[in-house]
Amino acid sequence: MSASAQSSSDTQEWSETAVRLLQGVIYREDERQWNVLQRNISPLEEYFSIVGLQLAVDDDEGLAWLRQPEADEVSGTPLPRLIRRTQLSYDATLLTVVLRDELHRFEQQDVDNERCVIHTDQLFQLWRPFFPAESDDVSLRRSLLAALRTLESLRFVRRFGDRTGEWEIRRILKARVIAAELEAVRDALKNAASPS
């Protein structure tokens, strides 16, 4: 038997799902992957625990992702980091806070829609107050678009449909930016923006 034939016979029902989790988030809207995940939570948890990862599943929000516990959460010698931490720029951090606030507002007010979608112009209006009044709007818009591209690469947002300038705020942002930490980050950003 060839090596390729042997490896394909050794795969599990959940093998593709495991790879998708290593690539990022699985959402309920990807029904095939979500259903495989739901049927195989225990073997997936066991599989990822071997390399020190935890499977996080939020059934209410309809998403699943991998996390690596902090060194102080692990008994014994912690493993090297497998999931790389990304240091965000000031602009990307600010946008993360703005988007998290918008997602929270959406969840409180818009119960009819499943997706939180916002236009770039609306985002700019929420973004602008964090900068000095004399800042150049053209430059700020460029910075906003660069920050959006950064967060898109992290899968916190994605372009919505074919409409130009509309972005869907992905629910993984809620899991990554915890509400308790949000106020401290917001205050730090406002202090950084205010003149000394």
Provide the residue-wise pLDDT of the chain in tens; the chain has 196 residues. 444 444 445 678 999 999 999 988 999 989 999 999 999 999 999 999 988 899 999 998 899 999 888 767 767 776 777 766 667 788 888 898 899 889 888 888 866 677 889 999 999 999 898 888 888 999 999 999 999 999 998 888 999 877 678 999 998 888 777 665 666 676 776 666 665 5
Q: Assess whether the region 3-73 and the region 90-193 belong to the same CATH fold.
A: yes
- Partners of 116 in the beta sheet? 169
With 0-12 CB in 10 A as exposed, 13-18 as middle and 19+ as buried, what is 193? middle
- Architecture of domain 3-73 in CATH? Orthogonal Bundle (1.10)
| Domain residue spans of the chain | 3-73, 90-193
Which residue type, as a one-letter code, is found at position 161? Answer: G
Q: Are 122 and 106 in contact (CB under 8 A)?
A: no
Read off φ and ψ for residue 138, nearest 5 degrees.
-65, -45
Ranges assigned E (strand) in 33-130: 54-58, 63-67, 116-119
Nearest to 154 by CA among 89, 105, 103: 89
CATH code for 90-193?
Answer: 1.10.10
Q: What's the rounded Cα separation, in Å, for the pair 159 and 165?
A: 8
